[in-house]
Amino acid sequence: MTEPVKQPIVPAAFSPEDMARRRRRSIALALVLGGLVVFFFIVTLVKTGPAILNRPL
């Protein structure tokens, strides 16, 4: 007995609306990630306080 030959599954092409939605989602995620980076940086500076300037070079 031989097994039937499996046909490769071809994904459907994205419509222009899908691509636009995908791009908006990517931009939103990038902005959120950038905001988190800035937030963590500011929190780190605030927690360290002015002592960050009193370190030996």
Taking only the tens place, the pLDDT of each residue in 4-57 is 788 888 888 989 999 999 999 999 999 999 999 999 999 988 888 877 777 776
Q: Tell me the pTM.
A: 0.65
3-state secondary structure of 1: coil
Alpha-carbon distances of 18 from 27, 29, 47, rounded to whole Å: 14, 16, 43
Alpha-carbon distances of 21 from 16, 26, 28, 30, 51, rounded to whole Å: 9, 9, 11, 14, 46
Residue 2 CA neighbour count, 13 Å, CB half: 3
